[in-house]
Every structure is written in C-alpha cells, then in structure tokens.
Structure 1
C-alpha cells in the first residue's frame, strides 16, 4: 500500500471541500480530476468525472438554498439532478449502481443534520461495493468520513486532511480497481 498516494488523495479530497466553501467550482473540478487520474483513470474520464462532481456540488448548494427557503419540491428536484450526475459518474467509472443513491442520500441528510441517516448511507455506500469481506474496512471508512466532516465543520484543514489520508489508506488496502468515492 502506497502511503504517498493516500496522502496525495487525502490532500486533494480536503482541497475539494475548501474549494466548495470558496465556490471555486472550476478548481474543484480540477482537484476531483486529479484524484481520478491518481486512481488510474485516463485523462478524459477523469476530466468528465471532475466536471460532474463540481456540478453536483453546485446543485447541492441550490438544493440547500431551496430547503432553507422552504421550497421542498425545488430541493427534491435539485437533489434528483445531483443523483443524475452521480449516476453518470458511476457509468463513466464502471461502478456499482447504488453508490450514487447512497452518496446523494447522505448529502441530503448531512445538510438536514440527520446524523444517523448520514452514517447509514455512508456505510452502505462503502459496504455494498466492497462486500462483507471488507465489513470492518467499510466501518472504518464511514468513521473517517464522519471525522472528515467534523474537521471540515470546525474549519480545521489539518484534521480534515489527516482523516482524509486515513480514509484513503483504508480504501487502498482493499486492492480493488473501482473505488466507491464520488467526491
């Protein structure tokens, strides 16, 4: 297992969150592209995925604004568009189809501050593609994603990056070719 690769992926993942906060969506797309290049995807696929991830973040912001304005139908429409972006990513990367659903759901529940639902969908996002063989790792990945979120909420880039690196160390241990990470 390459700790340098895990560290680089952790840095890029952290960068995505801070670029999202700064609403620098073109740079966010570039950081996401770099993650998929590092994971072994060709330039075109990685760029397409990076762009789609950036769009998903923008749409989720629109959904959150709709939620805060009490426009629930509009929020649902935006989150359906987010899910469509993730489904496109699944197809490009050849991933199992349910990852998009769980990623979208945990994003919704995160914005609604429904922690148990966040945990549930984060766990399933990792367990379903990894399988029972990697049950313990799926639990660890869920834990690290929660720690990443906490670090980000505290605006502590060091804690966020440390936990993102730990996330990638565990995920790379699985020696799989298709990773259940969508940004």
Structure 2
C-alpha cells in the first residue's frame, strides 16, 4: 500500500513541477489538492491548500522576475507573500510553524543558486517537524529533494518521478499524521 501511495504522490509531485514550468497554475492547484486528499485531508481543506500552493508558485515566479530585474525590494516583497501563503497552508493542515519559512528560503536560495543554503533549509524543513527520532530520514529526504531538483533541471520526468517516489517512500516510513511537504 505505501509503495503504491508513494508512487501516486510522487507522480503528482512531479506533475506539479512540470505544470509550474508550463504556467498551468489551475492544474497545478488540482495536483496539489490531490496530494493532500491522498494524505487524508478533506476535500475543502485540500482545495484551499492546493490553491494557496499554486499562488505561492506564481508569486515565486514574480519574485524571480524582480530578482533578475535587479529589484531586490520587490523580490523580497513577493517572497514574503509566498511565505504568507505557506503559513496559511501550515495553519489549515495543522503543521508545525517553521516549515513555511524554510520552504520559502530554500526556494529563494535555489533561484539564487546558493546550494549550501538550499541544503540547510531543506534539511530544517524536514528535521524540525520530524525531530531526532527521524534524523536519518530527514537527511535522506533532503538528499531526495536535491536529486528531484537535478532531475527537474535536466527536464527528465522519469528521474524526477523516481526520486519523488523515493521521497514519499521515506516520508511515509515515519508513520506520522502531518507531513512537512508544502508543494
């Protein structure tokens, strides 16, 4: 069951990345909604969360455009809006409060090509809610996310799906009720 669920969640996560690239934000929201429904959230909460995640992706694109234009103040404004969307997601899903901040930060550093900062915030996004009990899994999740990013950058959907499935297999091993995944 967990392997099937992990594969389905991995497929949906992979789909989110490709829909983001294609700027199909309504479909991205639908894919995110499906992830949260598969994780056991009711449809209304999942739809709100899916919409917020889609908005976060759009705002991060606006932030990147501002960054490339040299308007750092505007970039920061957009990333603060990304964080606000993720904070809403945390509240709706009942997640620990540090996840949004770390997700937003690793997105910034990913776009700025600051790999060590990406690793640091990816790790904290997973370690803080999972704790020392799942330290090794938090390290594995961080590694999986890096491999997912590499597969996506190569535009290789198979590698990306393989690694998103590994990510979910590791995360589901924790048998927790609240997963530190925000899109």
Tell me, what secondary structure is at the counterpart of 2:176? coil
Match of 2:38 in 1: 38
Structure 1 partner of 2:9: 9
Partner of 2:169: 169
User: Structure 2: how far apart are the matches of 1:147 and 1:48?
Assistant: 29
The corresponding residue for 1:145 is 145
1:92 and 2:92 equivalent?
yes
Distance, in Å, in 2 between the alignment partners of 1:33 and 1:147 is: 24
Post-superposition offset of 1:2: 1.1
Q: TM-score, normalised by structure 2?
A: 1.00
Which whole-Å CA distance do the structure 1 matches of 2:89 and 2:97 have between them?
10
| CA–CA distance in structure 2, aligned partners of residues 108 and 84 of structure 1 | 15
Aligned residue in 2 for 1:24: 24
Instruction: Please give the secondary structure, in 1, of the residue aligned with 2:181.
Output: coil
Runs of 4+ in 1 over 3 A off after TM superposition: none
Q: For 1:108 and 1:81, how far apart are their aligned partners in 2? A: 13
What is the rounded CA distance, in whole Å, between the counterparts of 1:100 and 1:31 in structure 2?
19
SS in 1 for 2:175: coil
Task: Give the distance between the partners of 2:38 and 2:146, measured in 1 at CA.
Answer: 23
Q: What is the rounded CA distance, in whole Å, between the counterparts of 1:82 and 1:2 in structure 2?
A: 31
Partner Cα separation in structure 1 for residue 38 and residue 26 of structure 2: 19
The answer to whether the aligner puts 1:57 opposite 2:57 as a matched pair is yes
C-alpha deviations, 1:56-112, integer Å up to 9, x for none? 000000000000000000000000000000000000000000000000000000000
How far did 1:136 drift? Answer: 0.2
SS in 2 for 1:9: helix
Alpha-carbon distance between aligned partners in 1 of 2:152 and 2:13, rounded to the nearest angstrom: 11
